[in-house]
Structure 1
Amino acid sequence: MTTAEASTAPAAPLLLARDLRLTFPGRRGAPPARAVDGVDLALAPGEILALVGESGCGKTTLARTLLGLARPTSGEVAFGGAALDYRSRALKAYRKRVQLVLQDPSGSLNPRHTVYDAVAEGLRIHGFDGDERAAVAEALSRAGLRPPERFFLRYPHELSGGQRQRVVIAGALVLGPELIVADEPVASLDASVRGEILALLLQLRDELGLSALVVTHDLGLAWNIADRVAVMYLGRIVESGPVEDVLTSPRHPYTQALLSVLPEAAGAPVVLTGEPPDPSRIPSGCRFHARCQVLASGRAEAAGVADRCRTEALPVLPAGSDTAQVACHWATATEQP
């Protein structure tokens, strides 16, 4: 490869999942639950990827598996080009480079710890031998709590919800991670504060080159913050690609349904019947077909794919594509020239 070609080649993924699967044993003789059931996912350096789906679709379980908090039944997680090592010392080093930001700051902050101690906890766990006070101050400042010394001796109950979430983010930043995994990072915040936290995540990406995997049920949030989006249903990614492609021209009926309920959406919302199927009883064919508005309306029948929707399984979508990908018999059939 020439120097010019190297400069234009896409960056190697920072985080990569290959055919990732996580199965939980069934209770009292029930079939095993396939919570993550074949996922390929790639996250580039400096990229924000939104992982979107209903509650129960497997997105939080997938995030925990990517963090090394759950060991996959099969498949592989790689970070920085190296397969994840599940020995305790290696996992400790990995979690210094990959930090978790939880949904509820009130639940993730010890009410008896000051802000200073909450942020310094990670440094102490990892045996930091530098200037602890300076590191805590810098992390709080990066998270928008300035002057940081003003917050050192305050307790969580003395802070607003937005300030508590900034403390949680500072606790992740203090270790200098390359990636943060944010699980519903603004779901518990007032609407007036949500924009501030999302703007902070974008600022951290721009200033620090920080990558982020943002787990959310909110496609509106994905539109505001993400470079790419992956839509998850019943343990699988069913549509993925650049956020502009997926959210302005959704191809999967599930993505279309999720977008239809946004306040700014045109037309009537699509009401999905029932709950997502039990992951221990994944249906044959397309796993969305029992709730699919396209199949119910007869459009899949008109396209000649209704039987395939009910009986023919779809392959795992490839990871890291620069173009939008969809796992849907109807979308594939209707888009053919």
Structure 2
Amino acid sequence: MTTPTPSSPASPLLRAEGLHVTYPGRRGEASARAVDGVDLDIRPGEIVALVGESGCGKTTLARSLLGLVSPTGGRVVFDGRPLDYTSRALKAYRRRVQLILQDPSGSLNPRHTVYDAVAEGLRIHGYGGDEQAAVAGALSRAGLRPPERFFLRYPHELSGGQRQRVVIAGALVLEPELLVADEPVASLDASVRGEILALLLRLRDELGLSALVVTHDLGLAWNIADRVAVMYLGRIVETGEVEQVLTAPRHPYTQALLSVLPEAPGDPIVLTGEPPDPSRIPSGCRFHARCQVLAGGEAERAGVASRCRTEDPGILDGGGEAQVACHYAATNSTSNPSELAR
């Protein structure tokens, strides 16, 4: 089977359509809009990186795509069908879509052997085949060879990288079509991070897996993703092919995130203030209160400052083309991105 390339016209395997997730406020407070209108496609064989600072809503979005959180608006579509939230349908769905968490120590029961940890999903889903062969195959694909050496080991006997490979094997044993990886290497040493990222890429190439990788690390996105979606305050503000977005960022928020990478040219862009409360999202562009382009006067000179403060740029389409939710970027599409960040 040929794995579709990111640029192929394959229909999305997973799609978020106008997704909203709202949490009720306490004691009469306004509801918190954790996810505030998101369209996002993930095609077969594609790795999409969802990036943004802590609290932007990316983990809530990932949980809603997994069916762990029911949306308050919009819908999730998988393989052409809207997600059904009945227990039986979700069980079948989660066999095809698996979650990989950032902390392998917290994901593994310390009292379970590696064999039991990997076999757990098979037992939950009533696997009728050769369990031992399936577990051995998953461990081998995750890079733990020979797999039989690991069957009777416990998590505390493994390194951090080995524990993460066990978590990945536990996801692979069900032969899913999509992995959702939430900060999959955040808790690992730098020397092991590259190995796990290389493993995820190899699994994509060999098995045709799709993946959504949730991260705050744009360097990780550069190394693993085909496409990147940058999220701020519950909404995707810039998206496109990873090389295009990370070498020529158009949204001031993306520029600020990139500016603090060690290899970034020039001085880091220091954003003022903290991200707004999701229960009190500002009018206009939700980034305008912290925007260095607006604060520096460039938006005023371009004649869009008033729109930045009062007019919502809208929800980006979930497809693969480059898009940005920024009034200034829209009027300066030919500008040098490094100049926009000054």
TM-score range with shorter-chain normalisation?
Answer: over 0.9
CA RMSD for the aligned pairs?
1.0
One of 325, 328, 337 as aligned partner of 2:326: 328
User: Could you tell me which residue of structure 2 aligns to residue 173 of structure 1?
Assistant: 172
Deviations 1:269-320 (A, max 9, x none): 0011121100000000000000001111111111111111011111100011
Name the residue aligned to 2:270: 271
Question: For 1:176 and 1:115, how far apart are their aligned partners in 2?
Answer: 18
The equivalent residue for 1:38 is 37
Mapped to 1, the partners of 2:118 and 2:112 lie a distance apart of 10
- What's the counterpart of residue 27 of structure 2? 28
The residue identity in structure 2 corresponding to 1:108 is S
Is the counterpart of residue 158 in structure 1 residue 157 in structure 2? yes
Q: Mark the CA change 1:9 to 1:201 in structure 2 (over 3 Å): closer, same or farther.
A: closer
Matched AA of 1:160: S
Match of residue 123 from structure 1:
122
Q: Where does 1:186-197 land on structure 2 (aligned, <5 Å)?
A: 186-197=185-196
Could you say if the C-alpha distance between residues 28 and 292 of structure 1 is closer, same or farther in structure 2, counting changes exceeding 3 Å?
Answer: same
User: Residue 294 of structure 2 aligns to which amino acid in structure 1?
Assistant: L
CA distance in 1, matches of 2:147, 2:259: 42
What amino acid is the match of 1:331? Answer: A
Matches within 5 A, 1:224-235: 224-235=223-234
Question: Please, what TM-score do these two structures have when normalized by structure 2?
Answer: 0.95
Matched letter for residue 77 of structure 2: A
Q: Is 1:145 aligned to 2:144, yes or no?
A: yes
Gaps of 5+ in 2: 1-6, 336-342
Cα distance, 1:336 vs structure 2? 6.8
Query: Number of paired residues?
Result: 329
- After superposition, give the CA deviation of every residue in 1:142-163 in whole Å (9 maximum; x if it has no partner): 0000000000000000000000
> CA separation in 2, counterparts of 1:46 and 1:276?
34
Q: What do the CA deviations read for 1:190-228 (whole angstroms, capped 9, x no partner)? A: 000000000000000000000000000000000000000
**Matched residues, percent identical?**
81
Q: Match for 1:231: what amino acid?
A: V
Which whole-Å CA distance do the structure 1 matches of 2:313 and 2:154 have between them?
Answer: 51
* Deviation string, structure 1 residues 36-67 (Cα, Å, up to 9, x no partner): 00000000000000000000000000000000
Matches within 5 A, 1:279-298: 279-298=278-297
Paired amino acid for 2:282:
P
Q: How does 1:297-312 map to 2 (within 5 A)?
A: 297-312=296-311
> 1:66 and 2:65 equivalent?
yes
SS state at 1:245 partner: helix
- Provide the rounded CA distance (Å) in 2 between the counterparts of 1:36 and 1:11: 26
Residue matched to 1:48 = 47
Work out the CA distance in 2 between the residues paired with 1:22 and 1:128.
Answer: 34
Residue type of the partner of 1:139?
A: A
* d(CA) in 2 for partners of 1:22, 1:35: 6
The residue identity in structure 1 corresponding to 2:96 is R
CA distance, structure 2, for counterparts of residue 195 and residue 329 of structure 1: 37
What code does the residue aligned with 1:333 have? T
Q: Which residue of 1 aligns with 2:78?
A: 79
Equivalent-residue separation in structure 2 for 1:319 and 1:274 (angstroms): 29
Map Cα deviations across residues 143-185 of structure 1 (whole Å, 9 max, x no partner).
Answer: 0000000000000000000000000000000000000000000
| 2:259 alignment partner in structure 1 | 260
Equivalence for 1:238 = 237
> Is 1:103 the counterpart of 2:110 in the alignment?
no
The DSSP-based 3-state class of the residue aligned with 1:335 is coil
Q: How far is 1:334 from its partner? A: 1.5
Q: Which runs of 5+ in 1 are unaligned?
A: 1-7
How far apart, in 1, do the equivalents of 2:283 and 2:194 lie? Answer: 41
Secondary structure of the residue aligned to 1:112 is coil
Q: What is the letter of the counterpart of residue 324 of structure 1?
A: A
CA distance 1:210–1:9, shift in 2 (3 Å): closer
Aligned partners of 1:111 and 1:75: how far apart in 2? 39
Residue deviations 1:240-262 (CA, integer Å, cap 9, x gap): 01001100100000000000000
**1:183 is matched by which residue type in structure 2?**
D
SS of 2:70's equivalent in the other structure is: coil
CA distance in 2, matches of 1:191, 1:293: 32
Cα distance change on mapping 1:199 and 1:9 into 2, 3 Å: closer
| Aligned-residue offset at 1:335 | 2.0
Runs of 4+ in 1 over 3 A off after TM superposition: none
Aligned letter for 1:330? Y
**Partner of 2:332: helix, strand, or coil?**
helix
